[in-house]
Structure 1
Amino acid sequence: MAAVDISPAAALRRRAQSPTPAVVYEGREVSAAQLVDSSAELAVSLAANGLRRGDRIAYLGFNSVTFLETMIAAAHLGAVFVPVNFRLAADEVRHILDDSGAHTLVVEEGHRELVESIAAEVPARRHVLVDTDSVCPVTAAPDAVWTPLSSLYGSGRTAREPVALYDDDLAMLMYTSGTTGRPKGVMLTHGNLWWNAVNVDSVVDTRADDVNLAVAPLFHIGGLNALTLRTLLRGGTVVLRRGFDPAQCLEDLVRHRVSSFFAVPAMFAALARVPGFAEADLGALRSAIVAGAPVPPQLIRDYGARGILLQQAWGLTETAPFATYLPAGLTLGKAGSAGAPMPYTEVCLTDPVTGVRIQETDTRGEICVRGPNVTAGYWNNPDATRAAFDDAGWFHTGDIAHRDEDDLYYIVDRLKDMIISGGENVYPAEVERVLAACPGVLEAAVIGVPDPRWGESVLAVLACEPGTAPTVEEVRAFAGDHLARYKLPTRVMVAEQLPRNASGKLVKAELRRWVESHQPVKAV
C-alpha cells in the first residue's frame, strides 16, 4: 500500500478556501488562506537562507500566530521544529539549542537579550527577530546578528509545493521539562502527531467546525497537540491567547462559544474561582480535557456540579500526548481515573523491579505504552532511549498506576517521587488528591522528609485561601478518613503558591529547596 502524505502544511492548504477563521489571535482574525500564504512565503525565504529538509528551526516566544507560521513553514520544507520553553534560563536555552543543533532560531523581542547573551555559544546560523506582531513590538533596532522577520516576507519568490511527509519523518523535537537533570529532546514524528489526532477524534466529541481555546503553552505537547493542531488542520477555529489569564479565559469561553478546551488542573481550578463563573453560559463547551498533572477528583466533582464534564486524559510528551482517556459519560462515576487506552495505543503495567507484566487488577506497577503515537526515542541520546524502551518495544513511563475491574487506569505517582515510610510505599499524588479537598486548601503538594524513626515521613505544603490555613491536626483528621495512617502528613507548611513549570506540573525539586529554607509551622 502506498504511503499517505500527512504533512500539516498540505492539510492546511486543503482548508485554505474555508470562510471560517483559522485563528483568532488576541482579537485579530487570520484566515486559513492567509496562514497558508504567510507560512509558504516564510518557508521559501528560510530555504533561501540555507534551511534544508531535516535541519532544525527553533522558536522562542509565547503563543502566537508566528509560532504557528514557523511550525507550518518548517513542515513545508521538511525541517524539524523545536519549540523552546520561554521560561527557561539562558543556560537551559543554550543546552537545547546546542543539543538540537538548531540551524535557525526565531525569537520574540522579550527574549532577545537572553539569546544575545548566548549567541556566540550556540550553533544557530540565522537569528530571526519577530518584528511583525503588534502584541510584542520590537523596542529597539536590532543589531547585525539579527534578521528581521519582516524581511523574510514580500520577497516575490515563488512558493513551491510542500514536501510530502510520512509517518517516520521527524516533525519536532520537544524537550522535556527537565525538572531533574538536563532536558532530553523527544523525537516526535509526523506519524506520532497524526495518530494522536486519530485517537482523539475516535473517542472525544470533536468536530470539524470546533472552536478551540488555546491558552496552555504551545511549546508543551498538551497545548499544541491535544486539540489545537487538529482543530487548525481539520477546519475549525483556534482562539489563541499568548498565555493564561483566568478572567480572560472565562470571557473567551463565553464570547467565542468555545466547544473544545485543554488545560491542566491548576488552570481549571483558577478558572472556577473567577467571579461570575457559576453564572457564565458555557453551554457550547462539549470537550473539556484535563491532563498534564494529577487531577484531584474534587475538581472533577466541582465542575460536574456546574454541569461541565471534565474529561481526564493521561500521557506524556513521549506519547504525543495521550495514551489514555476517560469518556465524558464516566467522568463522575469514575472520578480520578485516567481512563482506558486510546483506540490505537496499547497500555500495560509491569513490576518496576522485575519487569514482569502485571495481570491482576488493583495492583500497582509502572505504566508502559506502545503504539504509533509513541516517540521513537531521544535525540542524540541512545543511552536514554535504551533505558526507556524494553525489547518488546514498550515505553516505560516512570509513572505508577493500577487498573480496576473495568480496565480503567488510575495514575498513582511518579516512581521517583515515591516516599518509603516505615517500609510502606507512599505515593504523593494519592495524598495530594485527598488534601486538595480539605476545607480552605487551594493546592496541595507532598514530599518525603527524613525521619529518625520511620526513615521518611510525609510533609505537606499547602496553598490556602486567606485566613483558612488548617493545622496539621486538622489536616490529619480530615485525611484520616481517606488514607492509611502511615500516609498522613506529620508536618504542614503553608506557601503563597506552589512552584509549577510552564506546563503546569509541580516542580518537586524547587519545592524541596523552598522547604529546606523555611521552618515548618506545625509538627506532630
Structure 2
Amino acid sequence: MSSDMHARAVQETIFDALVAARDKYGDKPILEDLDRNPLTYTGLIRAAMVLGRKIAAITEPGERVAILLPSSSGVVVTFYGLHAMGRVPVMLNFTSGEMNLKAAIKASGVKRILSAKRFITQAKLEALTDSLAEVAEIIWLDDIRKTIGLPDKLFGLMAGFFPKQFRVETQPSDPGVILFTSGSFGSPKGVMLSQSNLVSNVRQVATHIDLDPDWVMFNPLPTFHCFGLTGGVLLPLLTGMKAFQYPSPLHAKQIVELLPDVKASILFATDTFLNQYARVAGPDDFATLQFVVAGAERVRDETHHLFNTRFGGLKLLEGYGATEAAPVVAVNHPDRNRPGTVGQMLPDMEWRVDPVAGIETGGRLYLRGPNVMAGYISPDDPDRLEPLRDGWHDTGDIVEIDTDGYVSILGRVKRFAKVGGEMISLMAVEGLASAVWPESRHAVVAVPDSRRGEKLVLVTDRMDADSARLTEWARSHGAPDLAVPKRIIKVKEVPVLGTGKTDYVAIQRMVESEAEAA
C-alpha cells in the first residue's frame, strides 16, 4: 500500500533548506530558549557559520562529531554549524548511561564530543564526561566562544549575507545525522539518516497538516531523540514557525507556566510528560495552544480524558514514528482526529502489513519512503551501513490499518507472550491494568514458565494492586483469563528512559533478578 503521492525524496540539504526558509518567510525571530535571547534566521545562520568554522579548524572534512547538549539554542547552532562545514552531527543521549554512550561513540566512529561546561555542571554529569574523555576528546563550546574575535565576526557578517558562498557544499544524499534508537526493547542501534531523509520528513508533515508560520513550537524533548530533533527543531525552522527549546521535559510546573508566556501554539511531548503537565496546569495555561502532539509511546485514555475535560477539548493528536523513519510515519490531523489511533500515514509513505503466525488481527508493519534511513550502522565497522532489503524497514510493530487509512498500534512483535498456547499482547494487558487503575503507571513483561510457556508479570506504582481486581475487570469485559498477570511487583516508580518511554530492558532485568532471588 502507499499514500496518495509517489515517494519522492526532497533534493535539498539541511543548511540550504534553512537559507530557503529565510528567503520564503523573511528574516524574523525563529529560535529561542530559556536565556530569552531570540535569534533571527540571519542570526542563526551567522552563529552557525562562525561556530562551524571554529569546529572545522579542529576536525576533518566529513568527520562525525558528537554533540552532548540539552535542548537549547546552543544545540541548534552547533547542529547547523557542523552542517555548514560539512561535518556529520552524532547526537548522544546523556541519560543513557556511560556503557551505552561508550558503545555509541565506538559504533559511530566518533573522535570528538562537543559539550558545554555550564550544562555539565548544572546536570551534574562531571563523572560521565570524565569517563567519556577516556574514549574521545571533549571540546568545550564555552572555550571556543571565548576565542571568537573580530575576524570571526566579520566572517559571520559576510556569511549571513551570502551563506551559500561560505558554506561547504554537501549533497542531499549525504549523512544528515547519526542517532541511536531508544533501547527500550534492547541495545540502542546506530541509525544513519541522510539530509534528504530529514528534510523530506519535514515536508511530509507540512503537507499533512497546514502549519501557520506565525505559530510558536514549544519543544521540551531532547534533540538526541528524533522526535525532538525533527519535530521540535527542523520542522518549525523550515516552515517559518518560531522554535522555543526547553532543556528538560521533566519540569512540569515551569513548562506549563512558560507556555502562555512564549505564546506557544504547538506542544510536542510524550504521554508520560503530557499527563504530568495536564495535572499541574491551570485552566488558562494551555490557552494559546492550537493543538498538542504526542508520540514515542501510546497515549492513555486517561490523558485524552484530562485534555478533553480540563482544557476545553484542546486537541491532543497522537502520532507514530520510528527513528529509522526520521521519525514521523503517521499522525492524527486537527480536523480528523481519531483518539485510539495514531492517525493516517503521511504523504509519500509506502507500507505493507505482513501476517504473523498466532496473531489474528493486524500484522507486522514494513515501511518505505523518502524519510526512511539507508540502513543501520554496522556494530563492527562505523563506516559500513547494513542496508535495508529493497528499502523496506521492518518496524517490529503489529498494526491494523482501517479502510480510512487510520493506523492502530496493537503492540510490538517482541511484546507478545505465548501463554498456554495463546499469543497475548503485553500492550493490551497494560491497557487492562490502566482501565482498572487509570491514574497509575503500569508495565507488563513475560518470563519463562515451565507449565504455560510464559507467564505475565505486572510492574506497577499502584501500591494496593491485586490480581483479583484485574480478574474481575477481565471477566466483566470479556478479556481472557490468560491475559491477567498473576504476579504483581509494586514499585515506587516504574523505570522510564530519558525520552519518557517505559524502560522495558530495566524492568525485565528487575523482574528476572527478583525471580532468581525468590
TM-score by length of 2: 0.86
Matched residue, 1:254: 260
Q: In structure 1, how many angstroms separate the alpha carbons of the residues matched to 2:295 and 2:494?
A: 18
Aligned-pair CA distance for 1:353? 6.1
Question: Does residue 85 of the first structure (1) align with residue 97 of the second (2)?
Answer: no
Structure 1 residue 259, shift from structure 2 partner = 0.9
| Letter of the structure 2 residue corresponding to residue 488 of structure 1 | V
After superposition, the Cα gap between the structure-2 partners of 1:422 and 1:388, relative to the gap in structure 1 and judged at 3 Å, is farther
Partner of 1:436, secondary structure, is: helix
Query: Which residue of structure 1 lines up, in the alignment, with residue 407 of structure 2?
Result: 409
Unpaired runs of 5+ in structure 1? 132-147
In the alignment, which residue of structure 1 is the partner of 2:468?
Answer: 473
1:494 partner amino acid:
K
Equivalent-residue separation in structure 2 for 1:98 and 1:495 (angstroms): 35
Counting aligned pairs with the same residue, the percent is 26
3-state secondary structure, aligned to 1:40: helix
Q: Given that residues 46 and 152 in structure 1 are in contact (C-alpha distance below 8 angstroms), is that contact kept between their aligned partners in structure 2?
A: no
Contact 1:388 1:396 survives alignment (8 Å): no
Residue identity in the other structure for 1:11:
L
Question: What is the CA–CA distance in structure 2 between the aligned matches of 1:152 and 1:102, rounded to whole Å?
Answer: 24
Q: Deviations over 1:456-510 (max 9, x none)?
A: 222212223xxx7332211222344263322122222222211111122211121
CA shift, 1:21, in A, is 2.5
Rounded to whole Å, the distance in 2 between the matches of 1:304 and 1:181 is: 35
Tell me: CA distance 1:351–1:381, structure 2 relative to 1, closer, same or farther (3 Å).
Answer: farther
Alignment of 1:392-403 (within 5 A): 392-403=390-401
User: What is residue 38 of structure 2 aligned with on the other side?
Assistant: 30
Q: Deviations over 1:425-482 (max 9, x none)?
A: 1111122223223246421111113334322222212223xxx733221122234426
Match of 1:236 among 233, 241, 250: 241
2:260·2:285 contact (CA, 8 Å) conserved in 1?
yes
Counterpart residue number, 2:181: 176
Indicate if the aligned counterparts of 1:5 and 1:165 stay in contact, CA closer than 8 A: no
In structure 1, what is the equivalent of residue 4 of structure 2? Answer: none
Separation in structure 1 between the aligned mates of residue 300 and residue 71 of structure 2, nearest angstrom: 27
* Amino acid aligned to 1:99: A
Report the Cα offset of residue 14 of structure 1. Answer: 5.0
The answer on whether the counterparts of 1:94 and 1:118 sit within 8 Å (CA) in structure 2 is: yes
SS at match of 2:435: coil
Correspondence for 1:462? 460
Query: Match of 1:98?
Result: 106
Q: Which residue of 2 aligns with 1:389?
A: 388
User: In structure 1, what is the equivalent of residue 3 of structure 2?
Assistant: none
Gaps (5+ residues) in structure 2?
A: 1-7, 160-164
Question: Hey, what does 1:513 align to over in structure 2?
Answer: 509
1:114 paired with 2:128, answer: yes
State the alpha-carbon separation in 2 of the partners of residues 294 and 89 from structure 1: 25
Residue of structure 2 equivalent to 1:154? 149
Aligned partners of 2:374 and 2:388 also within 8 Å: no
CA RMSD of aligned residues (A): 2.9
Aligned counterparts, 1:74-473, within 5 A: 74-109=82-117, 110=120, 111-122=125-136, 124=137, 127-131=138-142, 148-154=143-149, 156-157=151-152, 158=155, 159=159, 161-179=166-184, 182-244=187-249, 245-274=251-280, 276-277=281-282, 279-305=283-309, 306=311, 307-331=313-337, 334-352=338-356, 363-380=361-378, 389-390=388-389, 392-439=390-437, 441-464=439-462, 469-473=464-468
Label 1:118 to 1:462 Cα distance change in 2 as closer, same or farther (>3 A). closer
**Pairwise CA distance, 1:313:** 0.9
Match of 1:139 in 2: none
Question: Displacement of 1:281 after TM fit?
Answer: 4.5
Question: Quick one: distance in 2 between partners of 1:153 and 1:397?
Answer: 45
2:49 pairs with 37, 40, 44, which one?
A: 40
> Deviations along 1:194-218, whole A, 9 cap, x unmatched?
1111111112242212201110111
**SS across alignment from 1:284:** coil
Cα displacement (A) at 1:388: 7.7
Residue 382 and residue 120 in structure 1: after superposition, are their counterparts in 2 closer, same or farther (change >3 A)? Answer: closer
1-structure distance, mates of 2:133, 2:76:
24
How far apart, in 2, do the equivalents of 1:115 and 1:227 lie? 26
1:130-184 deviations in Å (ceiling 9; x for gaps) = 32xxxxxxxxxxxxxxxx2224522614355223444312111001223455432
Give the CA deviation at 1:511. Answer: 0.8
Q: Which moved more, 1:34-43 or 1:369-378?
A: 34-43
**Cα separation, partners in 2 of 1:340 and 1:383, compared to 1, 3 Å:** farther
Aligned equivalents of 1:382 and 1:338: distance in 2?
A: 36
Deviation track 1:251-287 (CA, whole Å, cap 9, x = no partner) reads: 122222211111111011111211x43x224233223
Q: 1:352 Cα shift? A: 4.3
Distance 1:79 1:474, change over 3 A: same
Q: Which amino acid aligns with 1:339?
A: G
Q: Secondary structure at the match of 1:350?
A: strand
Any conservation in 1 of the 2:18–2:237 contact (CA below 8 Å)?
no
* Cα shift at 1:100: 1.5
* Contact 2:184–2:501 (Cα < 8 Å) also in 1: no
In the aligned structure 2, how far is the partner of 1:448 from the partner of 1:374? Answer: 31
User: Which amino acid is 2:131 matched to?
Assistant: S
SS of 2:211's partner is: coil
**Structure 2 CA distance, aligned partners of 1:2 and 1:353?**
34
User: 1:140 matched to which residue of 2?
Assistant: none
SS in 1 for 2:37: strand
Partner Cα distance (1:97, 1:23) in 2: 29
| Distance (whole Å) between structure 2 residues aligned to residue 34 and residue 482 of structure 1 | 60
Confirm or deny: 8 A CA contact 2:376 2:386 kept in the other structure. Answer: no
Q: Take 1:61 and 1:402, find their aligned partners in 2: how far apart are those partners?
A: 38
Q: Which has the higher contact order (CA 8 A, sep 6+)?
A: 2
What secondary structure is seen at the aligned counterpart in 1 of 2:505?
A: helix
What is the SS of the residue equivalent to 1:128? Answer: strand
Residue identity opposite 2:332 in structure 1: L
C-alpha distance in structure 1 between counterparts of 2:506 and 2:272, whole Å:
17
Contact 2:377 2:385 in 1 (8 A): no
Deviates more, 1:304-313 or 1:375-384: 375-384
Q: Tell me if structure 2 keeps the 8 A contact 1:431–1:483.
A: no
Partner of 1:137: none
Structure with the largest fraction of helix: 2
**Contact kept in structure 1, 2:447 and 2:512, CA below 8 Å:** no
User: Cα distance 1:449–1:47, how it changes in 2: closer, same or farther (>3 A)?
Assistant: closer
Task: Read off the aligned partner of 1:474 and give its amino acid letter.
Answer: R
Distance in 2, Cα, partners of 1:43 & 1:474? 59
Alpha-carbon distance, 1:84 to partner: 0.2
> 1:488 is matched with which residue: 456, 475, 484?
484
* Structure 2 SS opposite 1:156: helix
Which deviates further from its counterpart, 381-390 or 314-323?
381-390
State the Cα deviation string for residues 98-129 of structure 1 (Å, max 9, x = none). 2222243102332454233343434x5xx311
Give 1:29 deviation, angstroms.
Answer: 2.1
Determine if contact 1:296/1:434 at 8 Å carries over to the other structure.
Answer: no
Bigger Cα displacement from structure 2, 279-288 vs 372-381: 279-288
In the alignment, what sits opposite 2:13?
6
Mapped partners of 1:287, 1:427: distance in 2: 31
